[in-house]
């Protein structure tokens, strides 16, 4: 049993590291293409889960909901029915959910920022190389 735990402690980081290495290499390859759009695919895909989390937190912030048990009397029997009441106060308060949503959005966008930094560095190097090539052609 201990052998499996040690194996897991060794193999899991290697698999995760290998996966991250492949993602970075793919981002480098896509960022170095002639068109600028392929380099924005992975940052866009990394942005989607954080947007889904952000909108789900804000969407499920609902007004106060209460369940009230009411007695309904028929001719000879009394029934208890649970009635669902929504109390809308006119203005829904998002302050509590924003204190959760904003840090969560920032934390889940760390991969997006890293991928965009790789993209920006690659594009900057490509632009400088293109300028150097133009200068070399003009010097001839």
Question: pLDDT digit string (tens) for 87-110?
Answer: 555 555 555 677 888 899 999 999
Count of Cβ atoms closer than 10 Å to residue 40 Cβ: 16
Given this model, what pLDDT does residue 55 score? 86
> In which band, very low, low, confident or very high, does the pLDDT at 51 lie, cut at 50, 70 and 90?
very high
Domain boundaries, the chain: 2-139
> In which band, very low, low, confident or very high, does the pLDDT at 2 lie, cut at 50, 70 and 90?
confident
How many Å apart are CA 55 and CA 58, to the nearest integer?
5
pTM (predicted TM-score): 0.70
* 70: pLDDT strictly greater than 60: no
Can you say whether residue 90 is alpha, beta or left, with left for phi > 0 and alpha for psi between -120 and 50 degrees? left
Concatenating the DSSP letter of every residue in 98-139 gives HHHHHHHHHHHTHHHHHHHHHHHHHHHHHHHHHHHHHHHHHH
């Amino acid at each position: 049993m201990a052998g499996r735990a040690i194996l897991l402690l060794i193999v899991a980081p290697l698999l995760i590291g290998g996966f991250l290495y492949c993602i970075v290499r793919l981002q480098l390859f896509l960022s170095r293409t002639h068109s600028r759009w392929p380099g924005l695919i992975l940052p866009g895909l990394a942005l989607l889960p954080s947007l889904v989390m952000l909108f789900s937190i804000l969407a499920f912030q609902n007004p106060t909901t209460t369940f009230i048990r009411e007695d309904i009397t028929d001719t000879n029997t009394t029934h208890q029915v649970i009635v669902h009441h929504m109390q809308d106060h006119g203005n829904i308060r998002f302050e509590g959910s924003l204190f959760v949503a904003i840090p969560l959005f920032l934390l889940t966008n760390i991969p997006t920022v890293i991928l965009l930094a790789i993209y920006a560095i690659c594009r900057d190097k490509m632009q400088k190389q293109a300028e150097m090539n133009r200068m070399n052609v003009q010097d001839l």
